[in-house]
Amino acid sequence: MEERLKKLKKATKKLQILNQNQRADLILNIASAIEQNMAKIIKANLIDLQNAKDLSPALQDRLKLDEARIKSLADGIRDIAMLKDPIGKIHDGWSAKSGLKIEKISVPLGVIAMIYESRPNVTAEVAALAIKSANGCALKGGKEAINSNLALANIIKDSLGEYGGCIEYFDISRDEVKNLIKMDRYLDLVVPRGGEGLVKFVSSNASVPVLKHDKGVCHIYVHQDANIQKALNICINAKCSRPGVCNAAESILVDEMIADEFLPLLKSELDKFNVIIHGCDKSKQIIKCQSADELSYYNEYLDFELNLKIVSGFDEALSHIDEYSSGHSEAIISDNYSVCEMFLSLVDSACVYANASTRFSDGGEFGFGAEVGISTCKMHARGPVGVDELTTYKYIIRGDGQTR
Amino acid sequence: MEERLKKLKKATKKLQILNQNQRADLILNIASAIEQNMAKIIKANLIDLQNAKDLSPALQDRLKLDEARIKSLADGIRDIAMLKDPIGKIHDGWSAKSGLKIEKISVPLGVIAMIYESRPNVTAEVAALAIKSANGCALKGGKEAINSNLALANIIKDSLGEYGGCIEYFDISRDEVKNLIKMDRYLDLVVPRGGEGLVKFVSSNASVPVLKHDKGVCHIYVHQDANIQKALNICINAKCSRPGVCNAAESILVDEMIADEFLPLLKSELDKFNVIIHGCDKSKQIIKCQSADELSYYNEYLDFELNLKIVSGFDEALSHIDEYSSGHSEAIISDNYSVCEMFLSLVDSACVYANASTRFSDGGEFGFGAEVGISTCKMHARGPVGVDELTTYKYIIRGDGQTR
Q: A311 vs A232, A255, B39, CA distance in Å?
A: 17, 5, 53
From the list B390, B395, B354, the residue with the least C-alpha distance to B371 is: B390
User: What is the band of A84 on the pLDDT scale with cuts at 50, 70, 90?
Assistant: very high
For testing the chain B interface, which of A89, A314, A394 should be mutated: the one with the most B CBs within 10 Å? Answer: A394
The predicted pLDDT at position A251 comes to: 98
CB spacing of A379 vs B356 below 8 angstroms: no
The predicted pLDDT at position A58 comes to: 81
Confirm or reject contact between B298 and chain A (CB < 8 A).
Answer: no
Pairwise CA distance, residues A286 & B93, whole Å: 42
Q: Average model confidence (pLDDT) for chain A?
A: 95
CB spacing of A109 vs B378 below 8 angstroms: yes
The predicted pLDDT at position A228 comes to: 98
Give the pLDDT mean for A15-40. 97
Pairwise CA distance, residues A251 & A181, whole Å: 34
Whether the pLDDT of residue A109 is over 90: the answer is: yes
Pairwise CA distance, residues B204 & B192, whole Å: 11
CATH 3.40.50.300, domain A2-211+373-398, yes or no? no
Whether the pLDDT of residue A28 is over 90: the answer is: yes
> How far B151 CA sits from the closest chain A CA (Å)?
32
Q: Is A144 helix (H, G, I), strand (E, B) or coil?
A: helix
From the list B116, B132, B38, B135, the residue with the least C-alpha distance to B78 is: B132
Pairwise CA distance, residues A151 & A156, whole Å: 9
User: What is the band of A212 on the pLDDT scale with cuts at 50, 70, 90?
Assistant: confident
Q: Number of A:B CB contacts under 8 A?
A: 198
Enumerate the domain spans of chain A.
2-211+373-398, 218-364
Minimal Cα distance from B363: which residue of A? A96
Orientation of helix A20-36 relative to helix A38-51, angle to 10°: 70
Which residues lie closer than 8 Å to B292 by C-beta, 6 or more apart?
Answer: B278, B279, B280, B307, B308, B309
pLDDT in tens, B88-120: 999 999 999 999 999 999 999 999 999 998 789
From the list A218, A248, A202, A214, the residue with the least C-alpha distance to A382 is: A214
CB within 8 Å of chain B, chain A residues 35-64? none
ipTM for the complex shown: 0.93
pLDDT in tens, A125-147: 999 999 999 999 999 999 999 99
Share of chain A above pLDDT 70, in %: 100
Q: How is domain B218-364 classified at the architecture level of CATH?
A: 3-Layer(aba) Sandwich (3.40)
The predicted pLDDT at position B56 comes to: 86
Question: What are the φ and ψ backbone dihedral angles of A243, each rounded to 5 degrees?
Answer: -65, -15
Confirm or reject contact between A394 and chain B (CB < 8 A).
Answer: yes
Give the pLDDT mean for A177-184. 94
Mean pLDDT by 10 residues, chain B (404 residues): 95 96 98 98 97 89 94 96 96 96 97 92 96 98 96 98 97 95 94 89 89 91 98 98 93 98 98 97 97 94 96 98 96 98 96 98 91 92 95 97 96
Confirm or reject contact between A74 and chain B (CB < 8 A).
Answer: no
The predicted pLDDT at position A366 comes to: 95
CB spacing of A346 vs B17 below 8 angstroms: yes
Q: Are strands A189-193 and A391-402 parallel, antiparallel or unpaired?
A: unpaired
pLDDT in tens, B199-252: 989 988 888 999 988 889 999 999 999 999 999 999 999 999 999 889 999 999
CATH 1.10.3860.10, domain B2-211+372-398, yes or no? no
Whether the pLDDT of residue A83 is over 90: the answer is: yes
